[in-house]
Amino acid sequence: MRKIVLASASPRRKELLQKIGLKFEVDAGNCAEEIDPALKPDEIVRRISIEKAHAVASRHKDAVIIAADTIGVIGTKLLGKPHTVVEARKMLAQISGKSHEVITGFTVLDTATNKIVSGTVSTTVYVKKLSKQEIDAYVRTGEPLDKAGAYGIQGLGAVIVEKIEGDYYNVVGLPLNALAEALREFGISVLGWNLTK
Residues 6+ apart with CB under 8 A from 142: none
DSSP 103-151: EEEEEEEETTT--EEEEEEEEEEEE----HHHHHHHHHTSTTTTSGGG-
Select which of 27, 42, 62, 69 is catalytic: 69
The reply to whether 69 belongs to the active site is: yes
Buried b (16+ CB within 10 A) or exposed e, 145-165: bebbbbbbbbeebeebbeebe
Task: Write down the H helix ranges in 25-69.
Answer: 41-57
**Catalytically annotated residues:** 69
